[in-house]
A and B are shown apart, each in its own frame.
Chain A
Amino acid sequence: MKRRSFLKKSGLAVAGSAAFPTLLPSGRLFAASGRRTSEHVVMVAFAGGVRLQESYLRRYVDDSQGEPYPGNIMYNMLSGEAPIAKIVYGTGVGGINPIPAILPQSIESIGTTFAEVSALSAGHFGGMNSLVQGGVPGGQGLKQRPLQPTIFEYLRRHGGYKATDTWFVGNGINGSLPLLNHSEHPNYGAEYAGNFFAPLVTFTGAGESAFLDAQVYHPENELEPLRRMKTFLDQQFAADGSGGFGGGLNNTDEEKEQIKAFMKLMYQKVDNGTVNVPPVTDNRDTGTVGFACEVLSEFKPAFTMVNLGGVDACHSNFSSYLSALHRADHAVGHLWDHIQSIPGMAGNTTLILTPECGRNLQPNNILDENDWRAYDHSDENSMRIFTMMAGPTVPQGLTIGGEDNPVGMVTDTMMTVCDLLGVMPEVQGAGYVHPGTDSLFNRI
């Protein structure tokens, strides 16, 4: 090829690539500018309001009830000996039998722990929004979608992740939880939302009676003509049908059919008792994590957020709080263990977990069956939380900060996810997160 011809053709090619950039599956034009360092991220909202004293500080009833028995009741996540007496958090009558550990090594020993992190809200709603938006929900009411973009929308819009690459598995439908999978922000919104299930409602509650009998249609013989007729009807109707309750999340037809087939499979597994639940499943958190494991196995999402909340029993029953905390740890152990059994996720998944808020320093006046006082969440101690992470790029056995030496904020958790999945520059550039929010890797 002559030099002039080569220059002409290569110049046209360069101009063409600039004028017609690659169109990614999500509809965005350019690849994310950040470097993706983890194939999968599972973020656990270790939520419900967890006191630092009974969790990271491992003080059991020593720093809450005036009983001299410290100890670790979260031994899948934390290292350290269990309490030697006053055992109420296990199984059996009075909870006297602790649940055996699932993991051979604690998350703390194989990952990095931020011993004390600052929350931005002392409440569940504010805390959950901090975790999904990276900010505080100023001006946002209950029963309202987030005003600023969520982690799901950032990932899908800037990272090109498809809808079934991002999942939110909630432990219920209260507290506006189902509204957190996307915002009302005009530049983001439903077309970039994460998929959501509250599996205990979808698969074992009201959803079972509503959806159980749904037939999965044959793709060519039934689904194709149904869609063809629907398309014709929609073409005749000029109005924009994307809004309202009936709107979708921009799942492709194939993704929707995969979700429906997954739902069918879940109803069968519920019927057969074969959902991959933790060995001890006797509350909502453990049940929710069982279905989260099923979501991970089926979709192998790039990002999954799992929400727990059983520890909120602490408002009125401290013993139940300890029991729920022990089970939340059991559930996390099962989740991490299950991830290591999924081809494609084992060895290249990062786990990150953070409570959305803590609980008070002083108890309220409610006594439980052990004459222990309950705790609400509204004071400065409620702003003390912790964050743990583990995965292929996470330093092992590292602890950052300590008691009364907080490092990092609750909003760092979502930015760390953005960092791991390669969209942090775009999220920081968008400018909607809380000032000072950073990836936890930058705080190590």
Chain B
Amino acid sequence: MIRFFPLSIYGVATCLLLCATSCSTEPEVQYGLLPLELQSSTADKDREKTIDQWISILHADLFGSALGSAELFDIKQAFESVGDQEVARESLVASFMQNPNVQLPSAESMLTNPDQFVEATYVRFLVRYPTEAERTWMRNYIQNTPTVTPELVYSSFALSTEYLHY
């Protein structure tokens, strides 16, 4: 004889709930980067980079590639061995500029389209657009100073106080 056990109303509700929540498809999650609107303001750069950050970011900005941890360690040691850190920074930038892999625009492109060069340089080093006053001053200085080269412009940005901050 088959015997049936009566189901309570709670048991039925539990079964329905399990059926409703099990084996549901996961929502599709996507990861990525949202475009960030660049600002022309310097007001929010109120924190100083560490020595590691400055060296690593400088390398990325000049060579378009990350610096290896062993190289970073060596450069940090070199910095520690020099008392005047301004001298150390200037020497490192001047040394990087002699590296054949440094990504420098040509002097011709700088002089052909100075506005574009100035804007790209501000974005590359200072992660912002220049103000109109900055754009005008830089353009005029580049056009009126025959000895200015992309190397010197890049060096001045890399050694600027703003570049020490983020």
Q: Which of B46, B84, B92, B95 has the most CB of A within 10 A?
A: B84
B51 within 8 A of A: yes
Q: Are B162 and A225 in contact (CB under 8 A)?
A: no
Q: Are B81 and A201 in contact (CB under 8 A)?
A: yes
B109 within 8 A of A: no
Q: Which of A56-64, A85-93, A244-252 contacts B (4 or more CB under 8 A)?
A: A244-252
Q: Are A210 and B95 in contact (CB under 8 A)?
A: yes
Q: Which of A195, A201, A229, A239 has the most CB of B within 10 A?
A: A229
B104 within 8 A of A: no
Q: Are B147 and A201 in contact (CB under 8 A)?
A: no
Q: Are A246 and B98 in contact (CB under 8 A)?
A: no
Q: How many residues of B contact A (CB 8 A)?
A: 53
Knowing A197-B81, A201-B78, A241-B161 touch, does A214 contact B145 (C-beta < 8 A)? no
A430 within 8 A of B: no
Bound-complex Cα distance A249 to B89 (A): 13
Bound-complex Cα distance A179 to B164 (A): 21
**Contact code string B139-150 (vs A, CB < 8 Å = 1, else 0):** 001000101110
**Chain A residues whose CB sits within 8 angstroms of the CB of B43 once the complex forms:** 238
Q: Are B83 and A195 in contact (CB under 8 A)?
A: yes
Q: Which of A178, A214, A222, A234 lies in contact with B81, CB distance below 8 A?
A: A178
A80 within 8 A of B: no
Knowing A225-B152, A237-B160 touch, does A193 contact B83 (C-beta < 8 A)? yes
A176 to chain B, nearest CB (A): 10
Q: Which of A205, A230, A238, A249 has the most CB of B within 10 A?
A: A230
Question: What is the interface residue range for chain A against chain B?
Answer: 35 or more
Q: Which of A226, A236, A239 lies in contact with B134, CB distance below 8 A?
A: A236
A113 within 8 A of B: no
Q: Are B84 and A259 in contact (CB under 8 A)?
A: yes
A385 within 8 A of B: no
**Chain B residues whose CB sits within 8 angstroms of the CB of A206 once the complex forms:** 73-75, 77-78, 81
A65 to chain B, nearest CB (A): 37
Chain B, range 55-106, C-beta contacts under 8 Å to A: 73-75, 77-92, 94-95, 97-99
**Chain B residues whose CB sits within 8 angstroms of the CB of A228 once the complex forms:** 141, 145
**Chain A residues whose CB sits within 8 angstroms of the CB of B97 once the complex forms:** 215
B42 within 8 A of A: yes
Q: Are A248 and B84 in contact (CB under 8 A)?
A: yes
Q: Are A222 and B83 in contact (CB under 8 A)?
A: no
**Chain B residues whose CB sits within 8 angstroms of the CB of A318 once the complex forms:** none
Bound-complex Cα distance A131 to B162 (A): 37
Q: Which of B45, B80, B98 lies in contact with A173, CB distance below 8 A?
A: B80
Bound-complex Cα distance A213 to B153 (A): 19
Bound-complex Cα distance A229 to B137 (A): 9
Knowing A212-B95, A214-B94, A222-B152 touch, does A248 contact B87 (C-beta < 8 A)? yes
Q: Which of B80, B91, B165 lies in contact with A211, CB distance below 8 A?
A: B91
Chain A, range 195-225, C-beta contacts under 8 Å to B: 195-199, 201-202, 205-207, 209-217, 221-222, 225
B14 within 8 A of A: no
Q: Are A247 and B86 in contact (CB under 8 A)?
A: yes
A225 to chain B, nearest CB (A): 5
**Chain B residues whose CB sits within 8 angstroms of the CB of A194 once the complex forms:** 83
B127 within 8 A of A: no
Q: Are B86 and A211 in contact (CB under 8 A)?
A: no
B50 within 8 A of A: yes
9 residue pairs of the A-B complex, CB under 8 angstroms, read: A181-B83, A196-B81, A197-B81, A214-B91, A215-B95, A217-B152, A226-B155, A233-B160, A260-B90
Residues on B facing A (Cβ under 8 Å): 42-43, 45-46, 48-51, 54, 73-75, 77-92, 94-95, 97-99, 131, 134, 137-138, 141, 145, 147-149, 152-153, 155-157, 159-162, 164-165
Residues on A facing B (Cβ under 8 Å): 163, 168, 173, 178, 181, 193-199, 201-202, 205-207, 209-217, 221-222, 225-230, 232-234, 236-239, 241, 243-249, 251, 256, 259-260, 263
Q: A213-B95, A246-B89 are in contact. List 14 more A-B contacts (CB 8 A).
A: A163-B84, A193-B83, A198-B80, A201-B77, A209-B78, A214-B95, A217-B152, A236-B131, A237-B42, A237-B165, A244-B49, A245-B51, A249-B86, A263-B87
